[in-house]
Structure formats: C-alpha cells, structure tokens
C-alpha cells in the first residue's frame, strides 16, 4: 500500500524528521501537534485555553489537508503536563467534536517539546 504524505501551510511545519500526517489507504495518521502558531512557529500567547484551541485548530488544518475533518477522527491521544487541565480539554473538545466522539486517551507527561503544556495526535478514517 502506498503512503501519501500530507502537508499544509495552515499548520506548523514539522520540528523534526516526520510528516504532519501520512495517509495509508483510507486511514490518516496525524502527527502530534503542540500549540504552535503556523505563521511564527512559536507557542501561542495566552492561557491554557488558547493552547488547547490552537492544538485543535492545527489538527483540524491537517485533517482538512488530508481531505477530511475532525469528525473523521476515530482515535485521539492527548498529552498534558498537568492533568488538572483535563476538565478544560473535555469542555473545549465539545466545541470541535460532536457525537459520536472518537476513542481517546489522556496521558500525563513530564514535559513536551518547546515547553508546551499540551500535545495531541489523531487517527482519522476517510470515507469513499
């Protein structure tokens, strides 16, 4: 099965040797997104809500570049440096996703690239 590399200028450039996403068949694997502004490649200013929203916006941009939407996400992984932000992530997730929600994991981690407080990656499945 051939791999198709997905890229968009509407999301941050990869900060290492990886692609923003890779499509294999109808499945698209979205790399982890941290709250980087795609234009400046710096962390967004603001509170945790601003960071979470930027991550969802980045994931949405990559999903669209792959021909999908966040509604096509079947698995979402969330990494937080402080699990006390879990309720906020739940609240904001409802602004980006509708039922049926994707499968999900939320994982507490010691640190993330560039000092981010949140990172998310996803898997989506595209229809015909």
Query: Each residue of 7-53: pLDDT tens digit?
Result: 999 999 998 999 999 999 999 999 999 999 999 999 999 999 999 99
pLDDT confidence bin for 128, thresholds 50/70/90 = low
- Residue 32: predicted pLDDT: 98
pTM to 2 decimal places: 0.96
Check whether 127 has a pLDDT greater than 90.
no
Phi, psi angles (nearest 5°) of residue 71: -65, -20
């Amino acid at each position: 099965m051939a791999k198709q590399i997905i890229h968009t200028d509407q999301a941050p450039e990869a900060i290492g040797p990886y692609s923003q996403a890779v499509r294999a068949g109808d499945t698209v694997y979205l790399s982890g997104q941290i709250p980087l502004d795609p234009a400046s490649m710096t962390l967004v200013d603001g509170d945790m809500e601003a960071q979470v929203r930027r991550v969802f916006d980045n994931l949405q941009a990559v999903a669209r570049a792959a021909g999908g939407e966040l509604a096509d996400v079947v698995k979402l992984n969330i990494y937080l440096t402080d699990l006390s932000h879990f309720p906020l992530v739940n609240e904001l997730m409802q602004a980006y996703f509708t039922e049926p929600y994707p499968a999900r994991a939320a994982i507490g981690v010691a640190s993330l690239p560039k000092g981010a407080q949140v990172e998310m990656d996803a898997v989506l499945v595209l229809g015909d």
